Structure 1
Amino acid sequence: MEPPSRHAGTDIIIEDARWRASVPGTERAIRRALVAVARQGGPDFTQSPAPSILLATDRIVKRLNARFRDKNKPTNVLTFEPLSPMHGGDIVLGYETVRREAAAARRSLRAHLSHLVVHGALHLAGYDHHHPGEAREMEGIETRTLRSLGFGDPWRQGNWQQAGSVRI
């Protein structure tokens, strides 16, 4: 495991070095996603405690998912609510699942990572997608945020290529 990287108040822990190898500038991409979601109406972690982000393996995510959600399988992203007002919560991503999903959807790993960081940040801010109205609101913020980062609409198939000359 690599030491934590601190950016914009967020502890970024890269447990699996494949994240850095596959997404050059991993920490910068995460920081940009968090700043962008605040600009689109999502949580502003400059005004409140920022989350910790763990870029892990599917094995770790599977263990956490089994322990805290009674689901004995990996998933792309898990969020954990803050245990105190001084902490911003946790976002955990599983490398193999995220990479597999990105490839299946023909998205760059950077785009999918950015989307899942935004998705997790919105969950920590109280957004959810269990009801149609909530889902539309959350997806709207995600779409605006990803577009502002130069990616297409995350909810439209085949629309994940990085747009124009915007680089992350």
Structure 2
Amino acid sequence: MNAIAEQRPRAATETAAADVDVDAASPLWSADAPEVVRRAIEAAARTAGRPGTVAVMLTDDATIRAMNAQWRGIDKPTNVLSFPAHKSAAAAGSFHLGDIAIAHETVAAESASENKAFADHLAHLAVHGYLHLVGFDHETDAEAARMENLEIRILSGLGIADPYADKPSGD
């Protein structure tokens, strides 16, 4: 059993800072994947301090490849895509933070090649996608360090090891 599934249930007095709607749009996903994603994003929302709703589509490489080509001009699959809500929606009082898509085959291949538990890597990508929705990025070294440190802290709270521990310096 993975660390996320072993988490204690929330007490009735605790509230999640995020309302997470997860759609397993591909049959490749296991039945527990939506709960892994939900718990990870709720933890990220509590830590990052940004309440709101998030929609997550658990999909496959073919679908995410088409999305990546359409929205980023990159014709290949990727592990996670984040689509922040338009700033005018936030100004109008909407609490929808945006949408996240995660591709099963890429997550499976990465977790296998990096010797990580699938659920732990999925949780990391959900946290990573959420942080993009609330304004974090990794375009510069300083931004990357800030985002990675926050991811490490959030994942640690879920009992998940530092996903960057074996990362070569300079990546």
Scaled to the shorter chain, the TM-score interval is 0.7 to 0.9
1:44 matched to 2:54? The reply is no
Unaligned runs of 5+ in 1: 1-6, 159-168
Which residue is equivalent to 1:151?
160
* Displacement of 1:139: 0.3
Unaligned runs of 5+ in 2: 1-15
Distance in structure 1 (CA, Å) of the matches to 2:128 and 2:67: 18
* Displacement of 1:43: 4.5
1:115-146 deviation digits (Å, cap 9, x = unpaired): 00000000001000111111111000100111
Which residue is equivalent to 2:149?
140
CA contact (8 A) 1:13 1:53 kept: yes
CA contact (8 A) 2:20 2:41 kept: no
**Equivalent residues, number:** 145
CA contact (8 A) 1:35 1:44 kept: no
CA contact (8 A) 1:102 1:109 kept: yes
> Which amino acid counterpart does residue 38 of structure 2 have in structure 1?
R
* Displacement of 1:61: 0.2
Distance in structure 1 (CA, Å) of the matches to 2:83 and 2:120: 22
1:127 matched to 2:127? The reply is no
1:115 matched to 2:124? The reply is yes
* Displacement of 1:27: 2.1
Which residue is equivalent to 1:26?
33
1:20-55 deviation digits (Å, cap 9, x = unpaired): 2xxx52222112111221333x2433xxx3110000
Distance in structure 2 (CA, Å) of the matches to 1:88 and 1:114: 18
Q: TM-score, normalised by structure 2?
A: 0.79
Q: For 2:70, which of 64, 67, 71 is the aligned residue?
A: 67
Distance in structure 2 (CA, Å) of the matches to 1:144 and 1:33: 12
1:35 matched to 2:42? The reply is yes
Could you say what secondary structure the match of 2:100 adopts?
A: strand
Could you say what secondary structure the match of 2:154 adopts?
A: helix
Alpha-carbon RMSD across the aligned residues, in angstroms, is 1.7
Stretch moving more, 96-105 or 81-90? 81-90
Could you say what secondary structure the match of 2:136 adopts?
A: coil
Which residue is equivalent to 1:55?
58
Identity %: 37
1:91-127 deviation digits (Å, cap 9, x = unpaired): 0011111110000001111001100000000000100
